[in-house]
Amino acid sequence: MSGKEKNLTAMLRWAIFPILAVAAVLCVFTGVSNLENGRTDEGRTRLEDAVRKAAVTCYATEGIYPPTLAYMEEHYGLQVDTGRYTVDYTVCGSNLMPEITVLENEG
């Protein structure tokens, strides 16, 4: 083995661990970032589902859809993270399913 090849092998041997470590850290950060994005989408879907379920539970129990979102929070244990999401709850009539839209707040 020539002197040049020896130097290259030694350099690779020294560099391989830092490269692997940096790659592993990058992988972890990418994974956590993807997880965070998925969690946000999942959270919005889950909140919309929870509002819909609370509205139907109210209709099944009382015979009318809840008049406001606050009514569901007070009587049906609904919890809304208002810092993160905005819920648009439009009542069309006491016996018609309200229009429910959940939007994620910016920032």
Binders of another protein: how many residues, by CB under 8 A?
Answer: 17
Each residue of 77-107: b (16+ CB within 10 Å) or e?
ebebeeeebebebebeeeeeebebebeeeee
Residues 87-106: x where in contact with another protein by CB under 8 A, - otherwise, as a string: --------xxx---------
Of residues 5, 36, 63, 106, which one binds another protein by CB under 8 A? 63
Structure tokens at 21: 């470590």
Q: Which amino acid does the sequence have at 57?
A: T
Of 48 and 57, CB closest to another protein: 57
Of 24 and 86, CB closest to another protein: 24
